[in-house]
Amino acid sequence: MKTNSVFDRLSKAMCCGCGVCAGICPTQAITIRVTSEGINYPVLDTTKCIFCGKCQQVCPGFGFDHKELNISIFGQAPENALIGNFQAIYKGYSGNGDLRFSCSSGGLVTTMSIELLRNKVVDGVVVTRLKYGREVRAEAFIASTEEEIFNAKGSKYCPVSLDKAIIELKRNPRKVAVVCLPCHAIALRKAMSHDKVLKESIVLILALFCNQAPSYRALSRYLKKHKVSASQVTYFQWRGDGWPGKTKIKVDNQHEISELSTDAWATCFGSGYFTPLACYCCQDFFGDFSDISFGDAWLPEQKGDTIGTNVMIIRSDKGKQIVDGLVDAKKIHADNLRLQAILNAFTINTRTKRICYPLHANLIGNCPGVTGMSVLGAPSCKVVVKEFIRLVKLFVGVRLHA
């Protein structure tokens, strides 16, 4: 039955599990559930669906025109096809030394979120926390206190859905900033163009650089490796306590297991065996449609850094104004960074996303992809080899965990 919804032609290569479709649905006909593959996926109650088509309008997997969306947000098409529109690029860190050390990579996102709330620029910040019980699951929510923001700090290498936060925001509109991934940012921008409440409520989008968001199978595999059941976990940390940081499991509030986060990433979360299909079709690494986007400072001069430093890309006038104010108030430290420096640091990530992943969209499944982007040419031999290995791992991962 045709429903004029995303479900008319949705595939797992299209769905990133962002949850914006469920959040914007006027009758709450869509719910987000974790599948057997460990990814977030929408489920439609056809008895509630009113065939309005809003879920199709916001879905990033249904494709969009990259140039047109840039013009609608920033007033111009990007001059650089790899990084998108930007006004300035910085490397920096929190002015709070303890917070900088405890966060994943410099503490800028957490510091900025706290200062936005403290200075009443926003009434809340959409961040992600972990919920513990029979399973460990991520939950996006609207933090309304500094303590809630601080407790939600750190990377979450697992699926995250914004549905509950959006539903709450539509029920009780207020000014918020949203900390999210690039796919979330695309969906939110599309939603803001169709929903007046979201357009007026979301005042700032802070995106995190993202190559992939591993499925919950990665977390299950990691816990199994350390002989811990999910129900025993009372605290989990992917990164923190310096840079690149430590991955920690606290068992029954007593026993603690810890290892270098780089080891946990290489052997499990970033291994490629747990990458969702949709991540192979995504073309946005740097968070093109955010006001400010953030990542780790994987720069040659930061090789000896053991505390943590961010790189941030300022894209909008509002983002620039906020960053300049925080620098002047000495809440954060920021130094200018050359465009080529950040492109060199993330060259494989960006070129792979922009060149190879559009091909994946056609190979893996029915995914409309992105139009209106500059053609970057053919991928290098190094990128081709890397992508061949990725696809082998994807196939093996699907077979192993079917």
- pLDDT tens, position by position, for the chain (402 residues)? 677 777 877 777 789 999 999 999 999 999 999 999 999 999 999 999 999 999 999 999 888 889 999 999 999 999 998 999 999 999 999 999 999 999 999 999 999 999 999 999 999 999 999 999 999 999 999 999 999 999 999 999 999 999 999 999 999 999 999 999 999 999 999 999 999 999 999 999 999 999 999 999 999 999 999 999 999 999 999 999 999 999 999 999 889 999 999 999 999 999 889 999 888 878 899 999 999 999 999 999 999 999 999 999 999 999 999 999 999 999 999 999 999 999 999 987 887 777 766 665 555 555 556 766 665 555 566 666 666 666 666 556 554 444
Of 122, 289, 280, 285, give the one whose Cα is nearest residue 190: 289
Distance CA 293, CA 213 (A): 16
Give how far Cα 270 sits from Cα of 94, 207, 347, Å: 27, 19, 17
- State how far the Cα of 348 lies from the Cα of 339, in Å rounded to an integer: 15
Per-domain residue ranges for the chain?
A: 62-215+273-400
Decide if 128 contacts 208 (C-beta within 8 A): no
Instruction: Name the nearest CA neighbour of 298 among 344, 255, 360.
Output: 344
pTM: 0.93
Note the residue count of the chain: 402
